[in-house]
């Protein structure tokens, strides 16, 4: 999204790249709202023609040279005053953190944190929750007609009126994930009326990865445009990793509490209980998790529907719940206790992301009975959540061939009263492991065009291994492409200005502007320099595709010079101008030295 | 496309990877037609469960260890006997090759080929053309009701009847590009009734690249699945580079003769003449070019329509013709002489690829008046070409946002009597230079689903530089994904069997089979090994996403074991089976050592 000159940056600071003195051509700036503590970050790209383009920015204070950041202290609690001022929450002692929260058993021979330094050293804090009887969710505020600072922040960010934000949230068509215990975030909104958002998954696993890596992946993902981050850690140090991530994250953090609950019962799904699960949800809510994936739609009667699938249940959460249901031959404890869960989430303003535990894991299983049975239950749960003022979005597939994608979003919107749809891809074919960012980027762009509000990224490592730093970047960039392509296709106001600015720069051979406007300026510049490394080439009126002797862009500029003006003038003056063209030497290109 | 066990390989030979003794898990095989000289190549993937999967193969003899290949000799002339047997063509002396064919002027101080060794040393040959009055195109044969060996070859390749091939060609809905002077090709077909095809562009330019590199790019592109290759060379040695590429190419080769013609007039568009152009077309037809892009739709009255575009004319061919029209204030010599051009192409069975010289070069310019004015002219030219029995496809854009894509294919099909559409992407946003394989892969998948027959690939270097070997591979793989996703969405018979085979392997933890079935086995294997490098991990019943303690796929297998069988049995036996599950220890995962 871009909105040239529509906003007044409150502060514009040069950001220099690592290479001394080399400007990277854009600046962190802020747009002020109605009060000085509403400062919405933007990326201000300064063009060589004197114009500037303002882009949505998810990178947080890390790209602001005026802000000192230190991952050991965490980010400043931007929203704290807003939360306190509402007077409807209170601090309390909170649940004591136990060794098993980090996967450590007293009886374990390998007891103790692998790295005791890892305990987050930042400012001491007590958790906060609603005072009794108070409804403290953005949904509750919106329904009461209130416009919170968070809503105004988002309105500035999306370039819409605060009333639109409030109304979309009130109608349940958008969510503003903002746990009262995560004051560090820069508020953002997820809904089809707004810019399409992208989530990046991080998380260590039993096999590999460390706390430091996960925090670094989070800041790296948001630098490239991730709007939210899910911490899907499954190994040890889950609690501590999450604390580090939350305290340093400028974007909402999502989790799947079931993963941690399973660790607490040593991976034995049948030993899970509602109590262990509930305790884990409270633990995470107190830390500040903004939205939680809850697989409450995986009901006992649906499990047999997956028996003859090609790839069964591929959702981890879904298969955990299926295993539990089978082991006990009982209805899911998540489904049975859903109302109590709503009460807990409401107390912290944790947003539901109702998980699609029965999503298809292959082209063959797309849109089948199991998948749509669960979707109907998600619709039912969505209505219950709304009764408790809990903000709710709905997760979607998965692996779906192109001709079956639209049915997914259409059914979801109908069954779930237009609650935001949050999809993983979908992957449009199964045959390209190592390229599933692309197989799924295709499906993601399409389903977002048709109304999906947030896209969960897929990296090149999907199905093969854990993503590294490069994979995270590739996944985020691919999904930003899908999201922006959808914004364009939806005719989102202002979306095309970004494309137009870049195309203008391309047409006018302003190479540096092309790079700085690119989703990934570094790679664009690097690719250009591979073929034409010399600095003068960046201002040359040609590129490596055609070379200096003939350039189609150059010819078009000649045409524009001749034929600019009204259609009438064009018709009248054409013969005359053609003569001039010939008289001027029929120059269809500029010499190299020009 | 896959078709398990439906074909009998005539020969199956082990192909070993470079690393000694390490099987790469697939074999080059051939499916025989009705006569022994119709041998259709396939890639036979052998699975560890004893099954095999047959995939379409474009890699030519290079992947057959029984065939000795030598780029200095060229490939065997597979089709020669078929062409000779028809008795409707004759060899003739041909046009003498002149220094200027390679961009060398007698007066040039840099005269002479840069590398005299570069002259193709292979078998001497004389060009061939139709005997007078004979119609020698596949279209002419199809209209007469004949099924040529080429058609039968294609029918086997596509797993359809030869009659379907003949009828689609006769109706002009498909083309079988096969110049009588390119007997080396393994015939293939382009039409919406068939598998979606992918073209890869290669070609040196004035700035960089050598003959050797271009030949290598061609074999590399076809190894990864390119169905045709366009040689878009623009620098020196154009004639010689093309000779090397043609003599070594197992796939049809396309060109844009205008590029070479422009070189002959030293890059001055206004000095182009019909005579120079015609001579170049004959030069290239004698060499064996299978299809030629001809920008005959860029008419004088359309040029002013581009004056107020954001990015003017971005097609090189389009801008050359526009410059010529402007310089002379005359109608395009290609449009004016189109019938004579048809006669030439018909004599060699060169297929038209009617170029979209006014395609949009930015989101802002999509679907505008200039673009659709040209499309109407292409419809008119298509009908003229058909009168001369010239096979014809139509080129399409370009840069188009998702919501405007369908109009392109729908209009093209209507205006051009369902002639095959051949599109470049389209790119669905302008903001991601360095990732335009992805911005365009999205659009390519969609437009192919809706009926486009061939997709011209876009590499990560688009807009930035010339693609290297890695870029060519990335571009081809991305476009194979788009093409296959479209085959699935179109419900192409057999397309899903490939996905199913890979998903079966995934569900059953047959890692080696997953790799070997992947579009890019090398990268899939490499990514897996980054996280879990040990050889035993490839047979382990878990992967790095969940680790050994909990695996959703494993749980699904348990479910299947319990609930396999009819729905009735499932309902009846569920409680009982759940008890057994518990009795067996509620094992939802296998221990690592299992």
Q: pLDDT, tens digit, for every residue of B565-574?
A: 554 554 455 5
Backbone angles phi, psi at B334, to 5 degrees: -75, -40
Locate B285 and state its tokens.
């037809």
Give me the total of CB pairs closer than 8 Å, taking one residue from chain A and one from chain B.
Answer: 475
Q: Which of B555, B564, B568, B592 to mutate to test the interface with A (most CBs of A within 10 A)?
A: B555
Q: Is B312 annotated as a binding residue?
A: no
CA dist B58 and B74 (Å) reads: 17
In chain B, which among 300-329 make CB contacts under 8 A with chain A?
303-304, 306-316, 318-320, 322-323, 326-329
> Is the same domain home to B483 and B577?
no
Give the pLDDT band (50/70/90) at residue B133: confident
Q: Are residues B474 and B371 part of one domain?
A: yes
> For the ranges A35-39, A235-239, B219-223, B350-354, which has the lowest average pLDDT?
A235-239
Average pLDDT over residues B285-296: 98
- Across the range B251-256, mean pLDDT stands at 98
Q: What CATH number has the domain bearing residue A255? A: 3.20.20.540
Extract the tokens encoding B329. Answer: 């204030």
Percentage of chain B surpassing pLDDT 70? 82
CA distances from B203 to B206, B209, B254 (A): 10, 8, 11
Contact A42, A30 (CB under 8 A): yes
Rounded (10°) angle between helices A436-449 and B436-449:
60
> Pick from A30, A43, A126, A42: which is nearest to A80 by CA?
A126
Quick one: pLDDT at residue B5? Answer: 33
Q: Which residues of A touch B270 (CB under 8 A)?
A: 582, 586, 588
Partners of A486 on chain B (C-beta within 8 Å) are 402
Higher pLDDT, A284 or B552: A284
- Per-residue pLDDT tens for A55-79? 999 999 999 999 999 988 999 999 9
Query: How many Å apart are CA B324 and CA A227, to the nearest integer?
Result: 50
Q: Tell whether A92 lies on the interface with B, counting CB pairs under 8 A.
A: no
Pair A150, A174: CB distance under 8 Å = no
Give dist(CA B206, CA B237) in Å, integer.
Answer: 10
* B291 annotated among ligand-binding-site residues: no
Are A481 and B432 within 8 A, CB to CB? yes
Q: Is residue A567 included in any domain, yes or no?
A: yes
Whether A61 maps to a domain, the answer reads no
B575 near A CB under 8 A? yes
Task: Assess B584–A contact: CB distance below 8 Å, yes or no.
Answer: no
Q: Are residues B211 and B337 in the same domain?
A: yes
- Interface contact flag, A433 B564, Cβ < 8 Å: no
* Same domain, yes or no: B561 and B449: no
Of A319, A502, A547, the CB nearest to B431: A502
For residue A592, is it within any domain?
no
Confidence of residue A236 (pLDDT cuts 50, 70, 90): confident
Domain match, A43 and A83 both: no
pLDDT at B21 over 50: no
Q: What is the pLDDT of residue B85?
A: 98
Q: How far is A574 from chain B (nearest CA, A)?
A: 8
Chain B contact for A545 (CB, 8 A cutoff): yes
Judged by CB atoms closer than 8 Å, whether chains meet at B313 and A485 is answered as no
Is B410 annotated as ligand-binding? Answer: no
- Please indicate, yes or no, whether residues B260 and B297 belong to a single structural domain of this protein: yes
A583–chain B nearest CA distance, Å: 9
Q: Are A191 and A224 in contact (CB under 8 A)?
A: no
Enumerate the residues of chain A whose CB falls inside 8 A of the CB of residue B466. Answer: 531, 544-545
What confidence category does residue B493 fall into, taking pLDDT thresholds of 50, 70 and 90?
Answer: confident
Per the CB < 8 Å rule, is A402 touching B446?
yes
Is residue B205 less than 8 Å (CB to CB) from chain A?
yes
Maximum mean pLDDT: which of B24-38, B58-72, B147-161: B147-161
Distance, CA of B266 to CA of B250 (rounded, Å): 32
B582 shares contact with chain A (CB less than 8 Å): yes
Residue B239 annotated as binding site:
no
Q: Is A98 within the bounds of a domain?
A: yes
* Residue that is written with structure tokens 């095809």 in the block: B197
- CA distance linking residue B515 with residue A431, whole number of Å: 10
Q: Which two tokens stand for residue B425?
A: 């992407």
For chain A, give the percent of residues with pLDDT over 70: 82
DSSP letter (8 states) at residue A396: E
pLDDT over 50 at B279, yes or no: yes
In angstroms, what separates the C-alpha of A512 from chain B's closest C-alpha?
Answer: 12
For residue B442, the surrounding DSSP H or E stretch is helix B436-449
pLDDT band at A203 (very low <50, low <70, confident <90, very high): confident
User: B379 falls in which pLDDT band (50, 70, 90)?
Assistant: very high
**pLDDT on residue A169:** 98
- State the alpha helices, DSSP H only, in A205-273: 211-223, 238-248, 257-264
What pLDDT band is residue A255 in, cutting at 50, 70 and 90? very high
Question: What is the pLDDT confidence band of residue A572, given thresholds at 50, 70 and 90?
Answer: low
Is B456 labeled as ligand-binding? no
Contacts of B361 in chain A (CB under 8 A): 503, 506-507
Q: What 3-state DSSP class applies to B197? A: strand
A81-101 pLDDT per residue, tens: 999 999 999 999 999 988 889
On the question of pLDDT at B206 being above 60, the answer is: no
Does residue B304 form part of some domain?
yes
| A491 HSE (CA, 13 A, CB side) | 2
Question: What is the pLDDT averaged over residues A41-53?
Answer: 95
B295 is in an annotated binding site: yes
- Dihedrals φ, ψ of A108, to 5°? -70, 130
Interface test with B, best of A588, A590, A591 (most B CBs within 10 A): A588
Residue B535 CB contacts under 8 Å (≥ 6 apart), including other chains: none
Most B CBs within 10 Å: which of A232, A424, A435, A498, as the mutation test of the B interface? A435
Domain end position, chosen among B490, B513, B535: B490
Is the CB of A373 inside 8 Å of chain B's CB atoms? Answer: no
Residues of B in contact with A316 (CB under 8 A): 545-546, 550, 552
Mean pLDDT computed over B291-315 = 94
Residue A17: is its pLDDT beyond 60? no
- pTM: predicted TM-score of the whole model, two decimal places: 0.90
Interchain contact, B364 vs A322, CB within 8 Å: no
**Chain B interface disruption, residue of A431, A448, A582, A588, most B CBs within 10 A:** A431
* B12 to chain A, closest Cα gap in Å: 23
Q: How confident is the model at residue A589 (pLDDT cuts 50, 70, 90)?
A: very low
Our CA-based measurement puts residue B50 at a distance from the nearest CA of chain A, in whole angstroms, of: 19
The reply to whether B43 and B154 lie within a common domain is no
Which pLDDT score, from 0 to 100, does residue A22 have? 43
Per-residue pLDDT at B36 exceeds 90: yes
**Does residue A414 sit in the same domain as residue A345?**
yes
Confirm or reject contact between A461 and chain B (CB < 8 A). Answer: yes
Assigned domain for A261 exists = yes
Per-residue burial over B347-357, b = 16 or more CB atoms within 10 Å of its CB, e = otherwise? bbbbbbbbbbb
Whether residue A176 is found in the same domain as residue A30: no
B230 assigned ligand-binding residue: yes
pLDDT of residue A235: 75
Query: What is the ipTM for the molecules in this complex?
Result: 0.90
Q: Within this chain, do residues A161 and A240 fall inside the same structural domain, yes or no?
A: yes
Q: Which of A207, A435, A499 sits opposite B520 (nearest CB)?
A: A435
- What is the band of A16 on the pLDDT scale with cuts at 50, 70, 90? very low
Nearest CA among A592, A518, A528 for reference residue B466? A528
Can you give the pLDDT at residue A103?
A: 81
Mean pLDDT score of chain A? 87
**Beta strands at B392-396 and B351-354: parallel, antiparallel or unpaired:** parallel
Residues B237 and B165 in one domain: yes
Which one of B456, B490, B524 terminates a domain? Answer: B490
Q: Say if A262 is an interface residue toward chain B (CB within 8 Å).
A: yes
Q: Contacts of residue A431 in chain B, CB cutoff 8 Å? A: 481, 484, 498-499, 502, 517-519
Edge-first strand listing for the sheet containing B9-16: B9-16, B23-32, B39-46, B52-56
In order of A80, A348, A484, the CA distances from A83 in angstroms are 5, 11, 32
pLDDT, average across residues A454-458: 98
Inter-chain residue contact A477 with B546, CB threshold 8 Å: no
A72 domain-assigned: no
Phi and psi based region of residue A266 (left: phi greater than 0; alpha: psi -120 to 50; beta: remaining): left
Domain count, chain B: 3
Residues A138-162 pLDDT 10s: 999 999 999 999 999 999 999 999 9
Lowest mean pLDDT among A18-27, B165-174, B182-191: A18-27
Q: What's the mean per-residue pLDDT of chain B?
A: 87
Quick check: A566 pLDDT over 70?
Answer: no
Res A482 pLDDT > 60:
yes
Residue with token string 């290109």: A589
pLDDT at A540: 54
Out of A206, A524, A531, whose CB is closest to B434? A524
Is the Cα torsion angle A188, A190, A196, A200 positive or negative in sign? positive
B528 marked among binding-site residues: no
B493 CB within 8 Å of a chain A CB? no
A441 touching chain B per CB within 8 A: yes
Same domain, A250 and A386: yes
Is the model more confident about A509 or about A54? A54
Residues of A in contact with B569 (CB under 8 A): none
| A158-176 mean pLDDT | 98
Q: What pLDDT, on the 0 to 100 scale, is given for residue B323? A: 92
**pLDDT tens figures, B413-448:** 999 999 999 999 999 999 999 999 999 999 999 999
From chain A, pick out residues whose CB is under 8 angstroms from the CB of B540.
Answer: none
Asked whether residue B418 is domain-assigned, the answer is yes
Closest chain B C-alpha to A506 CA, distance in angstroms: 8
Tell which of B449, B464, B490 closes a domain: B490
Name the E strands within B155-252.
174-175, 190-191, 197-202, 228-231
Note whether B235 contacts A: Cβ–Cβ < 8 A.
Answer: yes
User: Which residue among A439, A532, A560 sits closest to B465, beta carbon to beta carbon?
Assistant: A532
Q: Are B188 and B40 in contact (CB under 8 A)?
A: no
Quote the pLDDT of residue B6.
Answer: 32
Residue A22's domain comprises 13-56
| B251 within 8 A of B198, measured Cβ to Cβ | no
Query: What sections of B490-566 are H helices per DSSP?
Result: 495-507, 511-517, 521-531, 552-563
pLDDT band per the 50, 70, 90 thresholds, residue A359: very high
B404-427 burial, b for 16+ CB within 10 Å, e for fewer? Answer: bbeebbebbbebbebbbbbbbbbb
């Amino acid at each position: 999204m871009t909105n040239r000159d529509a906003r007044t940056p409150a502060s514009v600071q040069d950001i220099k790249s690592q290479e001394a003195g080399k400007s990277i051509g854009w600046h962190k700036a802020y747009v002020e709202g109605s009060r000085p503590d509403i400062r919405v970050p933007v990326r201000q790209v300064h063009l060589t023609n004197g114009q500037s383009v303002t882009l949505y920015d998810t990178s947080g204070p890390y790209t602001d040279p005026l802000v000192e950041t230190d991952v050991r202290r965490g980010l400043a609690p931007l929203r704290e005053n807003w939360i306190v001022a509402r007077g409807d929450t209170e601090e309390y002692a909170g649940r004591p953190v136990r060794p098993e929260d980090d996967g450590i058993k007293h009886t374990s021979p390998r007891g103790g944190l692998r790295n005791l330094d890892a305990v987050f050293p930042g400012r001491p804090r007590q958790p906060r929750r609603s005072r009794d009887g108070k409804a403290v969710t953005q949904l509750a505020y919106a329904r009461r007609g209130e416009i919170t600072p968070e809503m105004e922040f988002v309105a500035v960010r999306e370039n819409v009126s605060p009333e639109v934000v409030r109304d979309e949230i009130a109608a349940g068509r958008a969510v503003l994930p903002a746990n009262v215990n995560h004051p560090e975030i820069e508020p953002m909104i997820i809904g089809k009326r707004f810019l399409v958002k992208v989530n990046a998954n991080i998380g260590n696993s039993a096999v590999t990865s460390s706390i430091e890596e996960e925090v670094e992946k989070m800041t790296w993902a948001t630098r490239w445009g991730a709007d939210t981050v899910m911490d899907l850690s499954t190994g040890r140090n889950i609690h501590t990793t999450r604390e580090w991530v939350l305290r340093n994250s400028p974007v909402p953090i999502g989790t799947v509490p079931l993963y941690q609950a399973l660790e607490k019962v040593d991976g034995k799904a049948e030993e899970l209980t509602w109590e262990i699960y509930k305790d884990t949800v409270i633990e995470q809510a107190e830390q500040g998790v903004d939205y939680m994936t809850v697989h409450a739609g995986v009901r006992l009667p649906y499990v047999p529907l997956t028996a003859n699938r090609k790839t069964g249940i591929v959702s981890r959460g879904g298969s955990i719940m299926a295993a539990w249901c089978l082991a006990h031959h009982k209805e899911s404890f998540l489904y049975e206790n859903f109302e109590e869960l709503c009460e807990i989430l409401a107390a912290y303003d944790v947003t539901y992301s109702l998980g699609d535990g029965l999503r298809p894991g292959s082209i063959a299983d797309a849109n089948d009975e199991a998948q749509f049975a669960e979707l109907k239950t998600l619709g039912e749960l969505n209505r219950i959540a709304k009764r408790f003022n809990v903000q709710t979005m709905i997760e979607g597939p998965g692996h779906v061939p192109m001709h079956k994608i639209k049915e997914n979003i259409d059914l979801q919107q109908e069954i779930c009263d237009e609650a935001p749809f949050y999809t993983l891809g979908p992957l449009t074919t199964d045959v390209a492991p190592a390229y599933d960012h692309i197989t799924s980027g295709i499906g993601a762009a399409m389903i977002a065009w048709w109304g999906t509000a947030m896209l969960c990224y897929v990296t090149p490592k999907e199905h093969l291994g854990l993503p590294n730093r490069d994979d995270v970047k590739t996944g985020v960039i691919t999904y930003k492409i899908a999201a922006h392509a959808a914004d364009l296709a939806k005719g989102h106001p202002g979306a095309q200005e970004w494309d137009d600015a870049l195309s203008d720069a391309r047409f006018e051979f302003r190479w540096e502007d092309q790079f700085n406007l690119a989703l990934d300026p570094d790679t664009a510049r690097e690719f250009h320099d591979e073929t034409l490394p010399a600095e003068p080439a960046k201002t040359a009126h040609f590129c490596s595709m055609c070379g200096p002797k003939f350039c189609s862009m150059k010819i078009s500029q000649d045409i524009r010079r001749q034929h600019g003006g009204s259609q009438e003038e064009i018709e009248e003056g054409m013969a005359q101008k053609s003569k001039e063209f010939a008289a001027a030497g029929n120059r269809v290109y500029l010499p190299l030295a020009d």
